[in-house]
Structure 1
Amino acid sequence: MTSVRFAAVIGAKPCQTESEVRKLEMAGIDMLHVEVMDGHFVPNLGGGPDFVGALRATTELPIEVHLRIEQPDRYARAFIEAGADIVTVHLEARHDVRKTIELIRSMGCRCGLALNPLTLLEKALKHLPSIHYLLCLTSNPGPRQPLLPGTLQKVAQAKECRKEGNFTYQIAVEGGVTQESLASVVLHGADRVVLESRLLHRGEDDLLRELRAAAGEANMGG
């Protein structure tokens, strides 16, 4: 049984980048998660290769870039060259998903495939053998959105599908996860949980320690 890993969303504010990273490192976070948004695929704007490059120069933590953009195939290369360890693209975006996955993998980068809350797992089945991570979004876009309980069924389905198909992808969950909902998220099958960094800013190391303990108990119970 592997332990659940935690990633923290880090905001694209260059003046605060180093201090933010140091706080997250001290908290014991496993990975940094960068949201890249184009104002079209989702209504917000944020992130860019320069920001990822600045992060790479600041930390040795793994960096996941979540491309919440319409044409991820046009920009994936730039983020990999900037230092991303994982590039996650959306099934729902306007691109040839298979070719984008091939591009990311050909550059020696790990590839994730993200599914919006209403997207059925069945639509992604043909891509599951080719990806390293399946990212299940469990809330609507925007800060402080609550977890949508029905989305956890998809997480459970992804876990069962991985077992039946003998696939190797890990299951990540992002959106509205709190200390209270974490156990349920893990029980449904999450291997990695993406947290808003603000959750870690109140007693960073203590909270993350509590989250790891709760995840471990849920794993043993499942």
Structure 2
Amino acid sequence: MIAPSILSADFARLADAADSVSRADWLHVDVMDAHFVPNLTIGLPVVKSLHAATDVPLDCHLMIDDPDRWAPGYAEAGAANVTFHVEAAADPVQTARAIRKAGALAGLSVKPGTPLEPYLEVLREFDTLLVMTVEPGFGGQEFRAEVLPKVRLAREHVRAGHLRLFVEVDGGISADTIEQAAEAGADVFVAGSAVFGADDPAAAVEALRRRARTAMNV
């Protein structure tokens, strides 16, 4: 699954950007509050408007403080998947349950420096694991292959039946790196500049999908 990140799109033309990738699986929306990460992007009102403007399911990645309070609202606004950071959550299990109750999939994200092992039991409550392959906060960073063991670990637990979730990667995903992530076990790929920086975003989505499928032998 390919999830273009609108962080790399023209914020004055978000509806057009969404339309240009109408064949994508998800549309990745980075919500930043300038507290949890040193950047400020968009919030709930824009997500509501974007949901009304596109049929592509919204994949909201909340890089914010106090996600326990705010995350369910994004599900209520129509997001298909709402992911928050374990590093910011006081009660990840209850927040996941609240997101699901509001009608969305629940996702848990971990920063590059956060180990996955302490959260393997918690992940039973989630539909998506988002492994950050860059430090969250800004687009355009270089892919960090040293985090791929976390992707492999998650995939091992999915294959063993211990977990049932999507394994998503976000950060530096491009034609040059998507195969590494796919081989490690990721099945959802967030790509920003590799899509919206291309002359033809729709073609870029399809090219990334082909590379991932080749690496996954699908």
1:53 to 48, 53, 69: 48
Q: Secondary structure at the match of 2:202?
A: helix
1:217 to 197, 214, 217: 214
CA contact (8 A) 1:14 1:51 kept: no
Corresponding position of 1:149: 145
Structure 2 residue runs without a partner (length 5+): none
1:15 Cα offset (Å): 3.3
Corresponding position of 1:116: 111
CA contact (8 A) 2:27 2:57 kept: yes
- Aligned CA RMSD, in angstroms, stands at 1.7
Question: Cα deviation per residue 1:78-119 (whole Å; 9 max; x = unaligned)?
Answer: 212221111101110042111111211222221000010111
CA contact (8 A) 1:8 1:29 kept: yes
1:128 to 123, 131, 143: 123
Residue type at the aligned position of 1:205: A
CA contact (8 A) 1:42 1:68 kept: yes
Residue type at the aligned position of 2:82: V
Residue type at the aligned position of 1:21: A
1:76 aligns with 2:74: no
TM-score of the superposition, structure 2-length normalised? 0.92
* Alpha-carbon spacing, 1:208–1:77, altered in 2? closer, same or farther (3 Å): closer
1:31 to 26, 30, 36: 26
* Partner Cα separation in structure 2 for residue 44 and residue 184 of structure 1: 28
* Partner Cα separation in structure 2 for residue 29 and residue 144 of structure 1: 20
* Alpha-carbon spacing, 1:217–1:205, altered in 2? closer, same or farther (3 Å): same
CA contact (8 A) 2:169 2:190 kept: yes
TM-score of the superposition, structure 1-length normalised? 0.90
1:39 Cα offset (Å): 0.8
Q: Secondary structure at the match of 1:172?
A: strand
* Partner Cα separation in structure 2 for residue 80 and residue 170 of structure 1: 18
2:157 to 155, 161, 165: 161
Percent of paired sites with the same residue: 34
1:15 aligns with 2:12: yes
Corresponding position of 1:183: 179
1:48 Cα offset (Å): 0.9
* Partner Cα separation in structure 2 for residue 14 and residue 203 of structure 1: 18
123-132 or 212-221, larger mean C-alpha shift: 212-221
1:14 Cα offset (Å): 5.8
1:139 Cα offset (Å): 0.7
CA contact (8 A) 2:173 2:194 kept: no
CA contact (8 A) 2:18 2:56 kept: no
